[in-house]
Amino acid sequence: MANVGFVGLGVMGSRMVKRLLDAGHKVTGYNRTKSKAQWLVDAGMKRADSPRAVAQAADVTLSMVTNTAALEAVAQGPDGVLAGLAPGKLYIDMSTVSPAASTELAAKVAAKGAKMLDAPVSGSVSTLEEGKLSIMVGGEEEAFERARPILAAIGPKVTHVGKNGLAVSMKIATNLSLAVQMLAFSEGVLLAEKSGIARATAVEVLLNSVIASPMVKYRGPFVLKMPDEAWFDVNMMQKDLLLALEMGRELEVPLPTTAVTNEMLTAARGMGLEKKDFAALFEALARMAGIKK
């Protein structure tokens, strides 16, 4: 069993820690809001007072934060992860951030004599809790093999995609499709509803049709009842789409459906839906169609 550290105990990070604890790993964790991590302390996690303290206590430190700025905040500075790293240690960032920023951080980790992997995930709270999460990993092969048993405790499908930064690129390429699919699904439901078909009936038919991808199956029902806690909110999804659009410009890959969906996320934010799960795309489109909840 490994001596693991974890920084960022939000919706996904906290459940990852629970899986690591259940697998028998020793976990030291840090979260900015201490009260949110109390249930993990009760489950056996040791609480640290800073990201630096986590990295000092652990052989392998993982982090899961909201964006590039949040990663900079937990990694840099006198109390950051970098300050707690030493030769032989391994740092795995599971956040969805700028590939350039991730690669730059990997170089700083290497300068400390440690190794870094970027290891974002594909899936949701439900797939994580069901043990079906998919993890993509960028970095050196040797570091990947060292990390594999730990990551496998979080999700069973762990794939090495190449050098540092490429896993984050793969995650961005994956996530753009989530929002695009949600928007297309919403269009279909609303078209059926305005033609006279009950919303619940339209959802049932679509979820049992050829368009029902795994994402549509677990998020489609949100158009009938949104979760109390957003799995992945509008702001976070738009962050990923903006990263995708930036990559598209740099790599000269046109992303027309991503661009349209990004504008709909802006509309959702303008309607005050930014903290709701990105399935709120349906509500934004419904309002534009003149349909009330």
Two tokens at 218?
């677990």
**118, containing H or E segment:** strand 115-118
Radius of gyration (C-alpha) of the chain in whole angstroms: 20
If asked whether residues 146 and 178 sit together in one domain, one would say: no
Whole-Å CA distances, 258 to 111, 130, 135, 232, 279: 37, 29, 23, 17, 15
Q: Where a domain ends, among 114, 139, 163?
A: 163
Two tokens at 36?
């949110």
Position 122 scores a pLDDT of 87
* Average pLDDT, consecutive stretches of 10 residues, N- to C-terminus, the chain (293 residues): 92 93 95 88 95 97 94 95 97 95 96 97 83 92 96 94 96 95 98 97 97 92 93 94 96 98 98 96 97 78
Position 293 scores a pLDDT of 66
Position 201 scores a pLDDT of 98
In a domain, 178, yes or no: yes
Tell me if residue 171 is catalytic: yes
If asked whether residues 122 and 245 sit together in one domain, one would say: no
Position 35 scores a pLDDT of 84
If asked whether residues 43 and 123 sit together in one domain, one would say: yes
In a domain, 281, yes or no: yes
Position 79 scores a pLDDT of 96
| Domain of residue 240, CATH code | 1.10.1040.10
Position 118 scores a pLDDT of 98
Are 55 and 169 spatial neighbours (Cβ–Cβ below 8 Å)? no
- Angle between the N-to-C axes of helices 166-194 and 199-207, in degrees from 0 to 180, rounded to the nearest 10: 130
Position 1 scores a pLDDT of 77
Tens digits of residue pLDDT in 221-261: 999 999 988 888 999 999 999 999 999 999 999 999 999 99
In a domain, 293, yes or no: no
Q: Which domain holds residue 196?
A: 169-288
Q: Where a domain ends, among 139, 163, 187?
A: 163
In a domain, 156, yes or no: yes
Query: How many domains does the chain contain in total?
Result: 2
Query: From the candidates 171, 239, 275, 276, which is the catalytic residue?
Result: 171
If asked whether residues 133 and 15 sit together in one domain, one would say: yes
| Domain of residue 40, CATH code | 3.40.50.720
